[in-house]
Amino acid sequence: MESNIPSLPFCPPPKDQKGENKIQFFDFTSLQKEGKVPKEFIWPSENWVKSSGEIIKLPLIDIGAIKSDEAAMSYAAEIVRKACIEHGAFEVTNIGVDSDFINDVLQETNNIFKLPLSKKISAIAKDSGFSVAHAERYTTVLPWKETFTFMFKHNTKNDTQVVDAIDSLLGEEFQQAGLVYQKYCNAMNELSEVIMELLAISLGVDRKHYQRFFEDAESMMRCNFYPPCSASLSGALGNGPHCDPISITILLQDQVGGLEIFADNKWLALPPKPNTLVINIGDTFMALTNGLYKSCLHRVLVSNKVERKSLTFFMNPRGDKIVSPPKELLGKDEARKYPDYKWLDLYKFTQKTRRVDAKTLDSFIAWRSSSQPSNSN
């Protein structure tokens, strides 16, 4: 079924006289009142394969337990390996932050997305800030959502980097939001170290290998807001089918639901669980395992009645790091499935050449190969 999912048209907005994109801003509040979906939000029918009505059961890993019990770590590595080979996703709980703090994070996210459209437009910046349906990048097949993005560097002594980023984008009145997001990103940093150790053990490589590789990671924090869509059955999607190009995604959902994972050749719902985060393997970590672990194919449906919020912590290596699997994963006669590449090159490809979809990494490798000069005389 994956091969039947079409590539998405890139279709960037036209340029104005200054060479900047002419952006069409959509007001979801007005669209909801109108009760119709503009043509820009209609997705190809192939992306709208009906949900199976079934629920996917993912391994649930107790982070507190595996940090203190080697037997628990070994068992977790075993079941995570199976899940990552099959579909590329698992869940974690007991991550070291309480439910009250999670509620604070979601409340600050809600406050930000309730800002007037004019404020959101003023907080649009390169690679960060607000985006309304990604309309600053595309003109067709738009996701029914808004996003708010900022960067997070793992290996830095700047313990106010997120506070500073929020202040720069939204102003001093959002200092509390900055403090909450700073604490959340710090927690995701610590969690990612445990996950990288777990993944290394599951792969049978040096347990510190991926921790070292990502010690100076440059991650991206994205808050997502999916407004209700009264005409949600007419072709709108919160996110179409895609694999994340990053290394791993750490996802916090509210309790609305809408996320679906493609496994066993069908779309399976993943209902949210309290105090539980979802871990998705992305294209870059797939490459770091020489294709053994699968990049998780997923999509997001929208509700016709209630809004949905989520937070995605996209873990990325430093931009100039060479993405290459450890030699322990390469058998004597086993061919490399992906050539070495720099994460920044893949990221730029997704921003300037091709939209993220189910085959982003394959398309990037093919594009890069065709773009390189021939060695023949």
Q: Which residues are catalytic?
A: 308
Phi, psi of 257 (to 5 degrees): 90, 170
d(CA 49, CA 229) in angstroms, rounded, equals 18
DSSP label at residue 54: -
Cα of first residue to Cα of last residue in the chain, in angstroms, is 42
Q: Are 149 and 136 in contact (CB under 8 A)?
A: no
- CA torsion sign, 196 to 201 to 206 to 207? positive
Task: Give bridge partners of residue 149 from the DSSP assignment.
Answer: 129, 222
d(CA 194, CA 307) in angstroms, rounded, equals 32
User: Can you give the three-state secondary structure of 285-316, one letter per residue?
Assistant: HHHHCCCCCCCCEEEECCCCCCCEEEEEEEEC
Of 261, 321, 102, 272, nearest in space to 191 by CA: 102
Residue type, 329: L
Q: Are 256 and 272 in contact (CB under 8 A)?
A: yes
Q: Are 170 and 122 in contact (CB under 8 A)?
A: no
d(CA 92, CA 97) in angstroms, rounded, equals 12
Q: Are 135 and 43 in contact (CB under 8 A)?
A: no
Residue with tokens 């202040």: 167
DSSP label at residue 252: E
